[in-house]
Amino acid sequence: MSIEAAELESRLALACDMARSAGRQALAFTADIGALDVRSKGVQDMVSQADEAVEHGVRSTIAANCPDDDFLGEESCGDYRPNPERGVWVVDPIDGTQPYLCGLPTWCVSIAWFADTRVRVAAVYDPNADELFSARLGGGAHLNGRPMHTAPIARLDEGLVGMGHSNRVSQEITLAAMHRLLAADGMFHRCGSGALSLAHVAAGRLAAYFEPHMNAWDAIGGDLLVREAGGRTNEPVRDVNMLLSGGPMLAAAASVWDAMTAVAGLD
């Protein structure tokens, strides 16, 4: 697939517009959060009518603007059938649904476009702070239109490390990584949204982020943000077949990458 820079810029602009619109829609639902229809998808894994409504809106916009593209959303992932010949929009309408439903501000909208084995554009929007994190492959990363970069630190004890956990992995894996981090004089931070945490790594607020398993819709937007901001990642998704499987997610400022691979147990 040949992808011109102008096409990527167009898709990035669309991703940013959709992320802002979706974020405003999700934020509007919080005016009466108790009235939302909510159901469980598993331990500490919830979905609400807000998630579904926001995803439906994004999907409709993509269908109108990019009718030849595929779509993979968290709330409709069962509909997706990988097609390596087509680009695919990967969307988490509300990443951090549990904090969202608890009235906490640590959630976001994540939208990315994946084509030809790479994440090409990404937009992560935090409507509570009105912060739009965006990136295009080879075009750098930006926060509200201004260039952003990973933290200028030399050691893990100079910053905070975001960590995540889900019931898709054993507690022992996460606890072992936390133990290694503390032994290295680091300190963990958890906000409940992996996508937002990755954006904060890209913006230099967190030194790194590790989660033993992340789904693609949570991970790949932030993955591109970090790499375009000068950091390093393990690029957990490298082909369309991996979009449904996900994997371990590690992202860090380049200066602490080696230390974080040891913490994560990925060295």
Distance separating alpha carbons of residues 162 and 199, to the nearest angstrom: 11
Are residues 161 and 143 part of one domain? no
Are residues 141 and 28 part of one domain? yes
Q: Write phi, then psi, for 175 (nearest 5 degrees).
A: -65, -35
Q: Are 222 and 202 in contact (CB under 8 A)?
A: yes
Total of domains in the chain: 2
DSSP per residue, 47-78:
EEHHHHHHHHHHHHHHHHH-TTSEEEEGGGGG
Q: How many CA atoms lie within 13 A of 126 on its CB side?
A: 22
Return the CATH number at 79.
Answer: 3.30.540.10
Are residues 141 and 169 part of one domain? no
Residue with tokens 């933290």: 151
Are residues 233 and 196 part of one domain? yes
Are residues 130 and 170 part of one domain? no
Q: Who wins on pLDDT, 204 or 3?
A: 204
Are residues 190 and 168 part of one domain? yes
What's the mean per-residue pLDDT of the chain? 92
Are residues 177 and 256 part of one domain? yes
Q: pLDDT grade, residue 86 (50/70/90)?
A: confident
Are residues 95 and 10 part of one domain? yes
Neighbours of 261 (CB within 10 A): 17
- The stretch 219-233 carries a mean pLDDT of 98
pLDDT digits (tens, 9 = 90+) for 87-146: 999 999 999 988 999 899 999 999 999 999 899 999 999 999 999 999 999 999 999 999
Residue 39's nearest CA partner among 49, 30, 31, 29 is 49
Are residues 190 and 80 part of one domain? no
Neighbours of 233 (CB within 10 A): 22
Q: Of 113, 147, 181, which residue constitutes the final position of a domain?
A: 147
Note down the domain range covering 53. Answer: 5-147
Q: Of 147, 180, 198, which residue constitutes the final position of a domain?
A: 147
In sequence order, the β-bridge partners of residue 72 are: 90
Neighbours of 47 (CB within 10 A): 19
Distance separating alpha carbons of residues 72 and 197, to the nearest angstrom: 21
Q: Of 123, 147, 171, which residue constitutes the final position of a domain?
A: 147
Return the CATH number at 248.
Answer: 3.40.190.80
The span from the first CA to the last CA of the chain, in angstroms, equals 33
Are residues 167 and 86 part of one domain? no
Q: Are 237 and 243 in contact (CB under 8 A)?
A: yes
Are residues 32 and 135 part of one domain? yes
Q: pLDDT grade, residue 2 (50/70/90)?
A: low
Name the least confident of 4-13, 78-87, 135-144, 182-191.
78-87
Distance separating alpha carbons of residues 232 and 107, to the nearest angstrom: 23
Neighbours of 201 (CB within 10 A): 28
Is the pLDDT at 44 greater than 50? The verdict is no
Are residues 25 and 133 part of one domain? yes
